[in-house]
Amino acid sequence: MYWADLTPYRHEEYAAIGTKAIGWLSAKYEFSQGEVSPEFRDLLRFFCSHSIMQMRGFHVCEFCSDPRSEASQEDGLWLGNAETRVFYQEQVYAAPNLIYHYVLKHNYKPPDEFINAVLNGPKPGSKEYENLLKQIPYLDL
């Protein structure tokens, strides 16, 4: 499944209005690459360790040598079997938790507005974050 960064996230039944897709990469399409700050990397790991929609879909990394391999593991986190949400200034971003692997292993650099949202938006576990999560329709937490 490929969605270009910042295009509408199309699982309508699980999407808050205007949810934007981030990190739905495919080997068939180019993606932006570059350095990210250690602060962003660490926070992204934190978001991915608070995944939602476990096993609703399964994504494998198309850039690694064996595309049939099961979920990737990074720093003890299993990736590929869930998604994460980032909220900032009325925006909602939906990313596969595999995004952490893309950043670490494939030099993926998400759009600046997403990096900014991860750095400055409410963090998983906070009351503000959990309340925003509850507003996503039909999400079985």
Token reading at 102: 């893309």
Per-residue x/- track, 63-102, Zn ion (CB under 5 A): xx--------------------------------------
Gap between the Cα atoms of 84 and 50, Å rounded? 7
Q: Nearest to residue 50, comparing CAs of 90, 77, 73? A: 77
Q: Point out which span in 26-34, 43-51, 59-67, 115-123 binds Zn ion (CB under 5 A).
A: 59-67
Contact by Cβ (8 Å): 45, 51: no
Q: Point out which span in 17-25, 39-47, 73-81, 105-113 binds Zn ion (CB under 5 A).
A: 105-113
> Which residues here bind Zn ion, judged by CB under 5 A?
61, 63-64, 105
